[in-house]
Amino acid sequence: MAYQVAVIPGDGTGPEVIREGLKVLQAVGQKENFKMDFTAYDLGGDRYLKTKFHAIYLGAIGHPDVKPGILEAGILLKTRFTLDQYINLRPVKLYPGVDTPLKDKGPEHIDFVIVRENTEGLYTGAGGFLKKGTPDEVAIQESINTRRGVERCLRYAFHSCMKRNRAYKLTLAAKTNVLNYASDLWMRTFQELAKEYPRVKTDYTHVDALCMWMVKNPEWFDVVVTDNLFGDIVTDLGAMIQGGLGIAAGGNINPDPGGVSMFEPMGGSAPKYAGKNVINPLAAICAGMMMLEHLGEKKAAERVEKAVMQVLAKHLKSLAAGEMGYTTSQVGDLVVKYL
Q: Which residues of this protein are in contact with ligand IPM, per CB under 6 A?
A: 72, 76-77, 232
Please state the closest distance from residue 295 (CB atom) to ligand IPM, in A.
21
109/128 Cα distance (integer angstroms): 43
Cβ nearer to ligand IPM, comparing 294 with 334? 294
Cβ nearer to ligand IPM, comparing 122 with 312? 122
Q: Per CB under 5 A, does 232 bind Mn ion? A: yes
Please state the closest distance from residue 60 (CB atom) to Mn ion, in A.
12
Cβ nearer to Mn ion, comparing 219 with 232? 232
Residue 17's Cα: distance from chain center in Å?
A: 42
203 binds, among ligand IPM, Mn ion, none (CB under 5 to 8 A by kind): none
Please state the closest distance from residue 92 (CB atom) to ligand IPM, in A.
14
284/299 Cα distance (integer angstroms): 18
Nearest residue to Mn ion by CB is 232
Please state the closest distance from residue 265 (CB atom) to Mn ion, in A.
12
72 binds, among ligand IPM, Mn ion, none (CB under 5 to 8 A by kind): ligand IPM
Strand-pair partners of 201: 169
- Count of residues near Mn ion by CB under 5 A: 1
Query: Could you tell me the end-to-end alpha-carbon distance of the chain, in angstroms, rounded to an integer?
Result: 61
Cβ nearer to Mn ion, comparing 115 with 193? 115
Cβ nearer to Mn ion, comparing 238 with 281? 238
Nearest residue to ligand IPM by CB is 72
Applying CB under 5 A, which part among 117-125, 225-233, 246-254, 271-279 lies near Mn ion? 225-233
Please state the closest distance from residue 232 (CB atom) to ligand IPM, in A.
4
CB atoms within 10 A of CB 298: 11
Q: Are 267 and 283 in contact (CB under 8 A)?
A: yes
11 binds, among Mn ion, ligand IPM, none (CB under 5 to 8 A by kind): none
CB atoms within 10 A of CB 95: 20
Applying CB under 5 A, which part among 122-130, 166-174, 214-222, 227-235 lies near Mn ion? 227-235
> Within 23-82, which residues bind Mn ion (CB under 5 A)?
none
Write down the H helix ranges in the chain: 14-32, 45-50, 70-71, 78-82, 147-164, 182-194, 207-216, 228-241, 282-295, 298-314, 328-338
207/175 Cα distance (integer angstroms): 6
Cβ nearer to ligand IPM, comparing 119 with 160? 119
Applying CB under 5 A, which part among 42-50, 146-154, 217-225, 226-234 lies near Mn ion? 226-234
Please state the closest distance from residue 81 (CB atom) to ligand IPM, in A.
11
Please state the closest distance from residue 87 (CB atom) to Mn ion, in A.
15
250/239 Cα distance (integer angstroms): 10
CB burial class (10 A; 0-12, 13-18, 19+) of residue 6?
exposed
| Cα 37 to Cα 2, 26, 145, 302, distances in angstroms | 7, 9, 48, 53
Cβ nearer to ligand IPM, comparing 267 with 288? 267
Q: Are 37 and 2 in contact (CB under 8 A)?
A: yes
Cβ nearer to ligand IPM, comparing 11 with 232? 232
121/123 Cα distance (integer angstroms): 5
Q: Are 85 and 254 in contact (CB under 8 A)?
A: yes
Binding site for Mn ion (CB under 5 A): 232
